[in-house]
Chains A and B, each alone.
Chain A
């Protein structure tokens, strides 16, 4: 079974721009979560989507948003990019049942100049 895939793997943007990252979950997985990883803050939860609805949200500003499509694929968007948004953005998918396990993708490395 193919793992979680994320595109693009690397991205360079400038301050003020916006960016969209994509995540394809493992086949049969209905939930997608997004995380941001920076050297200073570590791995932090952004939000989770299930059945095209946001289920949980971390403590991030409204510039960070996401959506999920009917095929469970998910996108996250960051508007008005700031230098501090430079990070590894990770997507994780799970079946969405009790005691299920999250599996992570390889991440998208975003650099904001």
Chain B
């Protein structure tokens, strides 16, 4: 089973920031938080990942709480093309290699509206 809990759906106005929450209260110390999104019937697209510190890249920012039990993905200026299902995944990573089996939950369906 997935170790994360996400709201099933969210709406966001175009041009505004989209803040997608994720709860991962049972995360362990060597588990990373990964975010992917899937636009209808396409392959999931990697967005960002982090362990403890906040992360930012050209697509999004990831805010992880100090106790690491929850995180928020921020799309700073949502566009219609950001409409997708967003998946938050915790993934074990350790010296010698991580596992190649991502466990997907149901994700959050984000609808960006004009």
Q: Is the CB of A102 within 8 A of B100?
A: yes
A53 to chain B, nearest CB (A): 12
Known pairs A45-B103, A48-B101, A58-B101; A98 contacts B45 (CB<8 A): no
Contact of B102 among A31, A102, A107 (CB under 8 A): A102
Q: Type the 1/0 row for A72-113, where 1 means its CB is closer than 8 Å to any CB of B.
A: 000000000000000010101010111111111111010000
A11 within 8 A of B: no
Q: Is the CB of A106 within 8 A of B98?
A: no
Contact of A48 among B45, B100, B103 (CB under 8 A): B100
Contact of A42 among B36, B99, B106 (CB under 8 A): B106
A63 within 8 A of B: no
Q: Which residues of B contact A50 (CB under 8 A)?
A: 100
Q: Which residues of B contact A105 (CB under 8 A)?
A: 43
| Complex CA–CA separation, A71 to B10 (angstroms) | 42
Q: Is the CB of B46 within 8 A of A103?
A: yes
Contact of A100 among B44, B87, B95, B98 (CB under 8 A): B98
A21 within 8 A of B: no
Q: Type the 1/0 row for B81-114, where 1 means its CB is closer than 8 Å to any CB of A.
A: 0000001000001111111111111100000000
| Complex CA–CA separation, A64 to B101 (angstroms) | 16
> Which of the listed residues B41, B42, B43, B106 has the most CB atoms from chain A within 10 Å of its own CB?
B43
Partner-A contacts on B (CB < 8 A):
32, 34, 36, 41-46, 49, 87, 93-106
The 9 closest A-B pairs by CB, nearest first: A104-B43, A48-B100, A43-B104, A45-B101, A33-B100, A104-B44, A99-B93, A56-B101, A106-B43
